[in-house]
Structure formats: structure tokens, C-alpha cells
Amino acid sequence: MATRWGFGADLAIDLGTATTVIYQRGAGVMLDEPSLIATDPRTGALLAVGRDGYEMLGRAPGQVQLVRPLVGGVIRDPVAAERMVRHLVTSLRPSRIVRPRMAVALPGHVSPLERAAVEDAVLRSGARSVFTVDGTLAAAIGAEEQVSGPSACLIADIGAGKTDLALISLGGTVVARTLPIGGDTLDHAIVEWMTRQHRLLLGTRTAEDIKVRIGSAGARGPAGPMRVRGRDIDSGLPRTVVVSPDDVREALAAAVAELREALAALIGQAPPELAGDLVGGGLTLTGGGALLHGLAQHLSESLQVPVRVADNPRWSTALGVGRCVEDFRGCAPC
């Protein structure tokens, strides 16, 4: 979605492994696009960015190179990241007179080198200055949690490439942990399960569709089976199989269990007073992975604390960083 800015309108960016969300000061979220860039490897020409690039996944000919510039929330291809951010920012048609300030969400565990890579890519994309903000704290703020008070706030920000867990109190992180699991992990688990059980090879887009339509974390998942098409590993020919919600739940069980156990361990590291707060305040889920059917109920029953999904979990981090660009004087960089 594009709009014409005012002079030097500031931006908040949630630069994610799978999706980039951009918030404009005074206007809210203005862009939500896949973090993907397509180029011609022979000439380096930019062919597509964002949703246009996503439509090429699994379908692009050999002369098209598809790249996700970020892995686990960290830039792995600085040149591709710069080109992607520049293209997305330019698509909003900003003022050419005054360059905007930009605030960017970063995982709390990033190294100085990784932080510098993000700042450099964003500066090169057209920002006049860059602020970095703790992504998990931003997700909590965007989910309307009261992070500045003395009561504990437990957040699980489930992205595509990773999950950030944090216990927050008095505006700071008390204990935190990052898991190398996320939405991509669930997609790959479905691909591997289909390979083992049905000798059927799927693309990641098909696996994601299965996850969204009939995937679940609990016993009461979506009703009804799904017909899935893929390539038979033995014959190499197309084949269709029927997959049930129970099948998909089995495929996802190990990843869900890892998340549950990590949350239990994090709660176990909390000071007794803060752990007691969770009986009332509970856990808040943000990020696209929070939308997995039945996940909140499953975690609530397992951890014995209330669990809620943020009103707009995919945008929670961008909305939280957006609070920063609405008042840069109150912005506390990480």
C-alpha cells in the first residue's frame, strides 16, 4: 500500500526473515511485504521485490536468483538487504527533499557486527539517521502490554526464522532466550514428514499452505482433511495424497514441544515475585507463528498460565517501534 508522504516522514521498520513491515509516523502501518528479492545473476538486474518475488518461489527459471536477505532476523546478504529496503521505501514515494529518520527492530542477541550491517543497509537505503530498538520489547509494546510497570510481562515473539522469549519488568528484560525455531521450522517439519510418510516431495509454499489451513498445536485442530499435490520421490511423477489435521499436528509436535519446554525453563529462571505475576498476567504471543491454530490453548494448559495472542501479532513489533518514531525523544535505542 503506497501513499504520498509529508516532508521527511519518519519510519519504523520490522525487518523480518519472512516479512518486512513498515510503519509511517502519523499514518500507521503502510507496507507489509515478503522479505524477498529476485535478481538476474548474470547482470545483477533487480527483477522483483516483496510479494512479486514471493510469487516466483518454486516457479522461477534458472536465470532468476531468489534471495532472502535475512536469516534468523539477522542480515546475511547486505547488498540484497539494501536493495530490498530501498525498493520498499521508495515504493511509498517519500519526499525527495528531506530524508526520513528510521527506527529498526533488532533481536536482543545481535552482535555489534550484525547491528552495524543493519544500520549500514538502512542508511544506504535513504535514511538520514537510524535508531535500533530491541525487537522483543517492541513486540510487547505493540501488543499493548504494560512493560514499564513492576509486574512481569512474558513475551514469545514467534517469527519465521526464530522465536524470541523474554520476561520483561520495569521497562527492561529480566531473562531472555532465542530459539532457532519459527514458522520456517514448522514448514520444513511438514516437508520432512511428507517425505517420510508418503514419499512425496513438497515445496515450502505448499507446506506453508498446509500449516495455515489445517495445522494445529492441540488436540482440537481444524476439521477436515486436505488434498496435497507434490512430486513422487520414487517415480518423479506428480501425485496427490490426502492429509488430515492429525497428520500435520504429528509433524509439528517436536517443534511445539521445544517451544513449550523453553518457555517453562524461562519461567523457572524468573525471580519468585515475577514468576508469581504470571499467574495473573500470563504469556502474550506475537509474530506470525502465534497464529498457529490451538497454540495459545496448548501452551496455557501445559504451563498453567493464561496465554493470549496479540490483536495483530504479525504487526506487533512494527507497531511497537512505531511508538518510537511518534516520539523520538522518548525512544530508547537498544
147-181+253-313 classified as CATH 3.90.1720.10: no
**Residue range(s) in the chain whose domain bears CATH number 3.30.420.40:** 11-137+316-330, 147-181+253-313
Which residues in 230-240 are b (16+ Cβ under 10 Å) and which e?
beeeeeeeebe
**For residues 223 and 274, what is the distance between their CA atoms, to the nearest angstrom?**
39
Order of strands, sheet of 65-67, starting from the edge strand that comes earlier in the sequence: 46-49, 37-39, 65-67
291 is in an annotated binding site: yes
Side chain identity at 43, as an amino acid letter? T
With contact defined as beta carbons under 8 Å apart, do 161 and 72 qualify? Answer: yes
162 is in an annotated binding site: no
Tens of pLDDT along the chain (334 residues) come to: 333 434 457 899 999 989 999 999 989 999 999 999 999 888 888 899 999 888 887 777 777 888 899 887 788 888 898 899 988 888 886 555 568 889 999 887 778 888 888 888 888 888 888 989 999 999 999 999 988 888 888 999 999 989 999 999 888 889 999 999 999 999 999 999 999 999 999 998 999 999 999 999 976 767 789 999 999 999 999 999 999 999 999 999 999 999 999 999 999 988 888 888 888 888 999 999 999 999 999 999 999 999 999 999 999 999 999 998 887 655 544 4
CATH class assigned to 183-251 = alpha beta
209 is in an annotated binding site: yes
Q: What is the pTM of this model?
A: 0.88
141 is in an annotated binding site: no
**Residue range(s) in the chain whose domain bears CATH number 3.90.640.10:** 183-251
| CATH pick for 11-137+316-330 out of 3.40.50.1360, 3.30.420.40, 1.25.40.10, 3.40.50.720 | 3.30.420.40
- Residue recorded with cell 497464529: 291
Report the alpha-carbon angle 128-134-140, nearest 5.
120
Q: Where are the alpha helices (DSSP H) in the chain?
A: 51-54, 78-91, 112-124, 135-142, 183-198, 204-214, 245-269, 272-281, 295-303, 316-326
210 is in an annotated binding site: yes
273 is in an annotated binding site: no
